[in-house]
Amino acid sequence: MEELVFTRPRYIKKAPFHYCPGCGHSIIHRLVAEVIEELGIGEKTIGVPPAGCAVLAYDYFDVDMGEAPHGRGPALATGIKRILPDRIVFSYQGDGDIAAIGTSETIHTANRGENITVIFVNNNCYGMTGGQMAPTTLLGQNSTTTPGGRDENRDGPPIDLSEMLALVRGTVYIERTAVNSIRNIRNTKKAITKAFKAQIAGLGFSLVEILSPCPTNWKMSSTDSCRWIDESVMQTFPLKVIKDEIG
Amino acid sequence: MEELVFTRPRYIKKAPFHYCPGCGHSIIHRLVAEVIEELGIGEKTIGVPPAGCAVLAYDYFDVDMGEAPHGRGPALATGIKRILPDRIVFSYQGDGDIAAIGTSETIHTANRGENITVIFVNNNCYGMTGGQMAPTTLLGQNSTTTPGGRDENRDGPPIDLSEMLALVRGTVYIERTAVNSIRNIRNTKKAITKAFKAQIAGLGFSLVEILSPCPTNWKMSSTDSCRWIDESVMQTFPLKVIKDEIG
Amino acid sequence: MDKKLLMRGSQVIGEAAIRAGCRFYAGYPITPQNEIPEFMSGAMADLEGGTFIQAESEIAAINMVIGASMAGARAMTSSSSPGISLKQEGISFLAALELPAVIVNVMRGGPGLGNIAPSQGDYFQATRGGGHGDYRSIVLAPAHGQELADLTRKAFEYADRYRTPVMILADGMMGQMMEPVVFPDPINLDELPPKPWVLDGAQGRPSRIIKSLILDTVEMEEHNWKLDRKYKIISGEIPHAETYMTEDAKLVVVAYGTAARIARGGIKRAREMGLKVGLLRPVTLWPFPDRAIREMSRLVKDFMVFEMNTGQMIDDVRLSLEGRSNVHFYGRPGGIVSTPDEIGKAISSLYYRQHLKED
Amino acid sequence: MDKKLLMRGSQVIGEAAIRAGCRFYAGYPITPQNEIPEFMSGAMADLEGGTFIQAESEIAAINMVIGASMAGARAMTSSSSPGISLKQEGISFLAALELPAVIVNVMRGGPGLGNIAPSQGDYFQATRGGGHGDYRSIVLAPAHGQELADLTRKAFEYADRYRTPVMILADGMMGQMMEPVVFPDPINLDELPPKPWVLDGAQGRPSRIIKSLILDTVEMEEHNWKLDRKYKIISGEIPHAETYMTEDAKLVVVAYGTAARIARGGIKRAREMGLKVGLLRPVTLWPFPDRAIREMSRLVKDFMVFEMNTGQMIDDVRLSLEGRSNVHFYGRPGGIVSTPDEIGKAISSLYYRQHLKED
Amino acid sequence: MKPKKGRIVIDSRLCKGCYLCVSVCPNECIGISEESNEKGYHPAKVIGTKDANDRACTGCTLCAVICPDIAIEVYRG
Amino acid sequence: MKPKKGRIVIDSRLCKGCYLCVSVCPNECIGISEESNEKGYHPAKVIGTKDANDRACTGCTLCAVICPDIAIEVYRG
Amino acid sequence: MKKTVFAGFGGQGVLMMGYVFAVAAMRDGREVTYLPAYGAEMRGGTANCTVVVSDEEIFSPVSSSPDFAVIMNKPSLVKYEGVMNGGGTIFLNSNHVSRELTRDDLTSIRIPAVEIAKELGSERVVNMIMLGAFAAHTRMTSLDSIMNGLSEIVKDTKASIMKLNRRGLDRGAEYILKGDSR
Amino acid sequence: MKKTVFAGFGGQGVLMMGYVFAVAAMRDGREVTYLPAYGAEMRGGTANCTVVVSDEEIFSPVSSSPDFAVIMNKPSLVKYEGVMNGGGTIFLNSNHVSRELTRDDLTSIRIPAVEIAKELGSERVVNMIMLGAFAAHTRMTSLDSIMNGLSEIVKDTKASIMKLNRRGLDRGAEYILKGDSR
Ligand SMILES: Cc1ncc(C[n+]2csc(CCOP(=O)(O)OP(=O)(O)O)c2C)c(N)n1
Ligand SMILES: Cc1ncc(C[n+]2csc(CCOP(=O)(O)OP(=O)(O)O)c2C)c(N)n1
Ligand code: SF4
Ligand code: SF4
Ligand code: SF4
Ligand code: SF4
Ligand code: SF4
Ligand code: SF4
Ligand SMILES: [Mg+2]
Ligand SMILES: [Mg+2]
């Protein structure tokens, strides 16, 4: 008997994604939806999409979704979770959203140990607004606001928010993964599962930082983008479990 | 011949301080002024006072001073310094100012390695507004917004901003000191000197975090406050050189 | 419970909010309204299902309120002038997302850091939308302790009824002063109408979206007009003004909040001198009670707007009258609290200048 | 250099700013004005003593501008509607501290996240002070590419002359469109008048303070009136409006920015149909050219305000006229860009409804 | 043990021709069409079959796992 | 080596009676006045002199170093 | 309508005096407002509050031209003497304020409250002594009302302390009634 | 006043076509506006821009009722056919758009630009071929003006590439002039 072994997960709507070819966002959407389905929490999950390329995430996730102003996802998620502590709340954010304008909200939400999960999509640029420098843009990487590539003296170096978050006491689980290869995609799914499980167990703030290709703004093919993550991005942002207090 | 061996430093105006008895702010003002005098930079220093008990710092420091909105001192100082790179610019901030509302500005200014000096006065509370919880309030410590003392689950734990700043590449010198004893005051002055020297040498972002008594909001005598810093505050915020890349 | 209590204005707001079913408060300290978060920290701790968060900033606070409101709670934040400026993006979002929420502004002197004395310098910001885009917040202006309690109750009702942010515009004096107050009974949360738009997990129903991004301009226009229609309905239903000694008045003072309270004293003195003077006090600043003023203009040819600023509400009075009567202004910005005597003098001086005494 | 260049509006602002002596730009990306920071990043890198900073947020950007202005630089930031809301506290500080600075708002549809299409929904925020306290910003409203260049130059001049923030209020269309532009020659920074208030280290002179905290209410009141006097001077000196075919007009359209440009087309069509219609285009939105409108009301009994919003500038038109003429409204919010034909129809329909054709 | 047999179905309306599936298929079962779809992308297509020898789809799902557009369904058995 | 001799001058208008100087003087030279100053504080006062034996001020400046209000000047020699 | 200012250093129980008085007057059925100085006004160690008591609506709670002032320190005397309503009365804690009034249209009542408190064995009742004297002289409220107000405010205070407060009030009142203060 | 829309997929050089045309017309001394689609409108891989050329003031730069459209793909045809001005002309890249127009008040001109480009040895000149055809048919500007515009925009391009572009323009124009497109 032939069996359907891979198909669209239950909590992704049947709409075509608006993302560019080879974009990591939609891979990550699918992984989150798969985890939600596998953990059986789809009927009690509330997601908070960001301003960023994933602003339309509510058109894809088939769970309750409430839009946040740019960078404020963690604060907004805090409000939801405090009112509905038995629901599962996740905030989905880009690297500009979480590590530039939202730095403060992210750090303090984490520090308070709010029992939410953050999906942090690090594509080393401002995707939605057309490829400006992000806090995570690599040194030397081109962007529309760093003529000649990011220069440490002029523009500052890339910032490692996840490492900083590991320092605050309210965080229980932080891992950096990627979606540029089968292996990394599988690990990402494991990490997302762990992060949601931490929330289900009421342990505190969990976050998965996911290195994600943005072929459009990197001006590379999809396959080159995946390679570039291995070769360059991971030099600055190595994949690892940054903090694990789940036990 | 009798010699005057201790008097008001040149760059403190002859005005009585508005601070409460035993407050650390004015000790710190004096130390900063002494350092400015000793380094001979009084005629080219620009200070940025915060919103906080030290909001009136411009009435005391006899150097050019420009007021910042609450928490934005580092951004404002960045603007000044970029226009006048050969002047000496310092931002003076309370723990609420720097580690709550100003978290993002502080971290990103540090990360860019702006060549400024930050004096971070940690008195474990919002002094000016009457003793609310600060990001640095100790667990169990009373404040007007933490009934029964700060509770980790409800209010989150104290945050160690200086440690986080040490993680970003633009910082060259970060030390935590105190002004609760002669020894600590002397070390604080050394630290402030080092921080300003780092700026003079053009090395990047320097910061001195100074544990400072707030007898009024701690509801203790001045001497008890000094003791309490030793016995309690330093348990959470140990004195140390957190980062030193000056060489 | 109908015992009179002597309570500080800020705490009155807090207590009234909780009795109105507020179960979520997030705020950040700023003088002169610190007693609101301080009160809420204790009150929420004592309350089953109550949340108090001292946010890391005003921006975090308003966004927490957005989240709590999405989740169905009656939610509130408070601040004073500079902190309210920081909340403007969030307030614009509340309006766009059609979420109920209550925002308290205990105004202080401005612009900039200004001072912490009572002022009414934020009238424009409150009534015109200090945030971006075509929206309005309902703005309620209490003038004394009891009204702080009553209008706080109303604020939550309006917010839910119209799914829109409501601002309580008070000032430092009102926040700090203690006055006797009788509180209404606490509402029963279970008796509130259901909110069929809340995000609480799909649980069998289709999943819901709360969003304000509408890329299609035709849809966005329709959303703007939909909001506009709502604002027209509100403008028809809730404008409210109180009058004092206006029956035979030839000169009517228009003032709100603390200024109105003081103006009453000035008017009383003027009446004692035989001048026919009255007060019209807008209780809702938006929607502005323009009809009430316009109607009055049939008999009253001189209005004196008194504000604790350099002149802001005067625009709304002039817009209400459109030349039908004279509009004069008396203002004291910067935290100056005039005495009733001073207002009495300003009134009588204007009265004689306008030759109202003659007939 | 007077060669015509085909340039995108956002870049025109950038180039004009640099030619006006802007040496400091800090900003944060947001559509539809990303080309301003993008242009500035390159232009400042090529410029001796020029600074570009991509700030971590809009708030950081405006505060960097405050600092740069304190240090004496001609400084600018730019954003679009939600980002401008976040800058309101900073703008209030600039006004209070009496610091020159230029803020560009390339408006998009709102409230909330809205959309990125051209809109004029931030009129109230810009002209009434979206921040706290008694203050005003000068607001300039360009309507086409060349004016983007010319008014950017003016913005820096006004900012310095009056020591106050100046806002350039453009919209998505203007930001994105390319048009031929001729730039004025770069100014010579050395020829600018000195700024005897700058913080640049005491260097022998007494130390200086720039602050806005004024705890004493009497002093604070005086500061407020001082600002008010300045605003009155500005209101006397710089209001500016452009007219088009108004000489014999019976109906005058009042519109600014992109709306005015489109309205000209509508008016031309209406004229072709024999209707006596003209345009009054406020170039300064604050101070509003109220005198120009009031004077026109002697001959014109019908004004049609056309805005790309649900009705904001109409308040200023009504305040200018105070009942002297009829004020009608035609609005398209949400990013809809009307065609000249549509406006032509709106004009003619109003023209006939008001029986202007009859005499 | 018999090698597993698989089959994939590509929804060419969803596919954006990003080549990622092509790059990961261990059995070179997928190629890119000459024709473009409605959105102007050249969608992926199956170039191997169950039965063809060295292009046998095993139903390993790798292509589907990496597909950013959930354009691939995989059957096995 | 002769022990250093010192002298301090306390500006009682500036002093807020915080006791910090009292607590650090190794020679117990400083006490607190019974009388309050204009601001209602009981200012510190010198209770030892250069000449008194066990309350001899050495001019070590410790009191001045810790004084939050710069109310103490120290002379030596 | 009578306005009273209570002023002194922080820690002298100045705000408490006003608060207790206001609650007492409210329970007596009068209109009342209580306005404390706040924020930066409180730095520098001073404290003050204004209580307005009236039989009709109170228009302004601020301390412009107070009718009475209870003054606990010298700077407060300086601050308030000038703005007092003509004919007003100033209650002075004479142990802290030695100087005479400069205006002759005001009455001063001097109470050696610190001395009396020492006699009672606790300096903490200085404010109650002043309040007792104030109440006895102005008759704006009764000592019983004040005690009721006090127990309403400081709910779980020990009986012994309440007793001490009562004795403070009594001694202050006595001091007035015996005429010692002229 | 003539409005022209250029539309296709991203990467087809659509924006460049419009830009070059606009600069050429400006240098010819005409009034001109160029309005690209921006932001989210650009997601999903489509691109378009509107160029208005006129001898008088241009009131609106938007593409409501364009007179001409240069269409590089099917979705763009669907999008713009409906809004064209009556009597307008649509230039179709016939290698990408096979279907006929549904409106009979419009003229269509079909250019097998991909084929021609292949003949020239580089698919990169497809847009120049279309532009050449467009210019030859509308006579709104000359091929020389376009070349001048192009060199103004892409300053340091290799001569060989500029030559190729010129040949693309020429071939597109030729195709029209020879009348092959009917
Ligand atoms: C207050 C505010 N500022 C700026 C923007 C514009 N904006 C939208 S998304 C974004 C950043 C996108 O970058 P990132 O967060 O990394 O997400 P990505 O698109 O790369 O996934 C910006 C600056 C906004 N919507 N609101
Ligand atoms: C935008 C804004 N929010 C809040 C305030 C009120 N405020 C002034 S200072 C301060 C915090 C003071 O605490 P800290 O920074 O620790 O300084 P300290 O007074 O303890 O030295 C606050 C909340 C303000 N002035 N502006
Ligand atoms: S711009 Fe980058 S992040 Fe955004 S959809 Fe395209 S590929 Fe993805
Ligand atoms: S409140 Fe605390 S920090 Fe502020 S002046 Fe008083 S003692 Fe110092
Ligand atoms: S399922 Fe495996 S073998 Fe089959 S096409 Fe996909 S990657 Fe190739
Ligand atoms: S991975 Fe998906 S979108 Fe990409 S080419 Fe393959 S089927 Fe198409
Ligand atoms: S200088 Fe030294 S010895 Fe003299 S009083 Fe001060 S602490 Fe004592
Ligand atoms: S340390 Fe200074 S302020 Fe404190 S008691 Fe001594 S002299 Fe006075
Ligand atoms: Mg990104
Ligand atoms: Mg502090």
Query: Mean per-residue pLDDT for C311-332?
Result: 98
User: What's the longest Cα–Cα distance across chain F?
Assistant: 43
Identify the residue whose C-alpha is closest to ligand 4 atom 7.
B214
Counting the structural domains of chain H, the total is 1
pLDDT at G123: 87
pLDDT at G182: 55
The closest of D80, D236, D84, D231 to D164, measured between CA atoms, is D231
pLDDT at C228: 98
Query: Mean per-residue pLDDT for C215-237?
Result: 97
pLDDT at D43: 98
Q: Indicate if the pLDDT at residue E53 is higher than 60.
A: no
% of chain A with per-residue pLDDT over 90: 99
Quote the CA–CA distance of B83 and D75 in Å, as a whole number: 10
Find chain B residues with C-beta within 8 A of G40's C-beta.
128
pLDDT at D58: 98
Q: pLDDT (tens digit, 9 = 90+) per residue, A135-147?
A: 999 999 999 999 9
Cβ of residue A217 lying under 6 Å from some atom of ligand 3: yes
Non-local (6+) Cβ contacts of D118 within 8 A are D32, D107, D108, D171, D172, D173, D174, D258, D308, D335, D337
Token pair listed for C168: 């309580």
Q: pLDDT (tens digit, 9 = 90+) per residue, D73-93?
A: 999 999 999 999 999 999 999
Quote the CA–CA distance of A97 and D30 in Å, as a whole number: 12
Quote the CA–CA distance of F13 and F71 in Å, as a whole number: 8
Token pair listed for D143: 């309507």
Quote the CA–CA distance of G65 and G52 in Å, as a whole number: 11
Token pair listed for G75: 């700077």
CATH number of domain containing H65? 3.40.920.10
Query: Mean per-residue pLDDT for D201-230?
Result: 97
The partner residue sitting opposite A78, judged by closest CB among C64, C69, C211, is C64
Token pair listed for D42: 């390159």
C-alpha torsion C97→C103→C107→C110, nearest 10: -30
Using left for φ > 0, alpha for ψ between -120 and 50, and beta otherwise, residue G87 falls in: left
Q: Indicate if the pLDDT at residue C224 is higher than 60.
A: yes
Q: Indicate if the pLDDT at residue C35 is higher than 50.
A: yes
Q: Name residue A48's amino acid.
A: V
Quote the CA–CA distance of D307 and D311 in Å, as a whole number: 7
Which residue spans within chain B are E strands per DSSP? 3-6, 45-48, 64-66, 88-94, 117-122, 171-178, 205-211, 240-244
Contact exists between C and G (3 or more beta carbon pairs < 8 Å):
yes
Q: pLDDT (tens digit, 9 = 90+) per residue, D1-18?
A: 468 999 999 999 999 999
pLDDT at H179: 79
The CA E27 to ligand 5 mean position distance, Å, reads 7
Quote the CA–CA distance of D37 and A132 in Å, as a whole number: 9
Level-2 CATH architecture, domain C241-355 = 3-Layer(aba) Sandwich (3.40)
Quote the CA–CA distance of D95 and D102 in Å, as a whole number: 12
Q: pLDDT (tens digit, 9 = 90+) per residue, E54-71?
A: 678 999 999 999 999 999
First to last CA, chain G: 25
pLDDT at A220: 97
Q: pLDDT (tens digit, 9 = 90+) per residue, C117-146?
A: 999 999 999 999 899 999 999 999 999 999
pLDDT at H75: 86
* % helix, strand, coil for chain E, step of 5: 15, 20, 65
pLDDT at G45: 67
Query: Mean per-residue pLDDT for C309-315?
Result: 98
- Computed over every residue of chain B, the mean pLDDT equals 97
Q: pLDDT (tens digit, 9 = 90+) per residue, F22-32?
A: 999 999 999 99
Chain B residue whose CA is closest to C111: B69
- With beta carbons less than 8 A apart as the criterion, state whether G59 and C261 touch: yes
pLDDT at G40: 59
| D156 touches A: beta carbon within 8 Å | no
Query: Mean per-residue pLDDT for C209-213?
Result: 98
Please identify among residues 278-317 of chain C the ones whose CB lies closer than 8 Å to any CB of chain B. none
pLDDT at H123: 87
Q: Indicate if the pLDDT at residue B32 is higher than 90.
A: yes
Q: Indicate if the pLDDT at residue F50 is higher than 70.
A: no
Domain over A25-244 is classified CATH 3.40.50.970: yes
Q: pLDDT (tens digit, 9 = 90+) per residue, G48-96?
A: 999 999 999 999 998 788 999 999 998 899 989 999 999 999 999 999 8
Q: Indicate if the pLDDT at residue G105 is higher than 70.
A: yes
CATH class of the domain at F6-76? alpha beta
pLDDT at C1: 45
H182 inside domain = no
Q: pLDDT (tens digit, 9 = 90+) per residue, D164-196?
A: 999 999 999 999 999 999 999 999 999 999 999
Quote the CA–CA distance of D119 and D336 in Å, as a whole number: 7
The closest of D85, B227, B160, H90 to A110, measured between CA atoms, is B160
DSSP H36: E
Token pair listed for H92: 């179709």
Contact exists between A and B (3 or more beta carbon pairs < 8 Å):
yes
pLDDT at D1: 45
Q: Kindly list the partner chains of chain E, i.e. chains with 3 or more CB atom pairs below 8 Å.
A: A, H
Quote the CA–CA distance of B230 and B224 in Å, as a whole number: 10
Cβ of residue B75 lying under 6 Å from some atom of ligand 2: no
Range of the domain at G62: 2-177
Rg of the Cα atoms in chain E: 12
Which ligand sits nearest to residue C79's alpha carbon? 2
Q: Indicate if the pLDDT at residue C164 is higher than 80.
A: yes
Chain C residue whose CA is closest to A59: C209
Q: Kindly list the partner chains of chain B, i.e. chains with 3 or more CB atom pairs below 8 Å.
A: A, C, D, F, G
Going from the C-alpha of H30 to that of each of D339, D345, H27, H34, H49, the distances in angstroms are 21, 28, 7, 13, 18
From the number of C-beta atoms within 10 Å of its C-beta (0-12, 13-18, 19+), residue B172 rates as buried
Identify the residue whose C-alpha is closest to ligand 3 atom 6.
A20
Q: Indicate if the pLDDT at residue G41 is higher than 90.
A: no
Residues, chain E = 77
Cβ–Cβ of H32/D172 closer than 8 Å? no
Least confident of A163-172, B158-167, G98-107, H149-158: H149-158
Quote the CA–CA distance of D337 and C202 in Å, as a whole number: 38
pLDDT at H44: 57
Identify the residue whose C-alpha is closest to ligand 2 atom 10.
B52
Q: pLDDT (tens digit, 9 = 90+) per residue, B193-222?
A: 999 999 999 999 999 999 999 999 999 999
pLDDT at H45: 67
Q: pLDDT (tens digit, 9 = 90+) per residue, E30-50?
A: 999 998 888 889 999 999 765
Query: Mean per-residue pLDDT for A177-184?
Result: 98
* Angle of helix D88-97 versus helix D217-237 axis, rounded to 10: 90
- Among the atoms of ligand 8, which is closest to the Cα of residue B222? 4
CATH class of the domain at D5-237? alpha beta
Quote the CA–CA distance of E75 and B128 in Å, as a whole number: 67
Q: Where are the domains of chain C?
A: 5-237, 241-355
Query: Mean per-residue pLDDT for D251-278?
Result: 97
Q: Is F45 helix (H, G, I), strand (E, B) or coil?
A: strand
Q: Indicate if the pLDDT at residue D97 is higher than 80.
A: yes
- With beta carbons less than 8 A apart as the criterion, state whether C90 and C64 touch: no
C-alpha torsion C213→C218→C219→C222, nearest 10: 120
Which residue numbers in chain H have pLDDT < 50?
none
Cβ of residue E71 lying under 6 Å from some atom of ligand 6: yes
What is the b/e burial string over H115-132, where b = at least 16 CB atoms within 10 angstroms of the residue's CB?
Answer: ebbeebeeeebbbbbbbb
- With beta carbons less than 8 A apart as the criterion, state whether G90 and G108 touch: yes
G182 inside domain = no
The closest of C103, C129, C140, C176 to C257, measured between CA atoms, is C140
Q: How many Cβ contacts (< 8 angstroms) between chains A and B?
A: 71
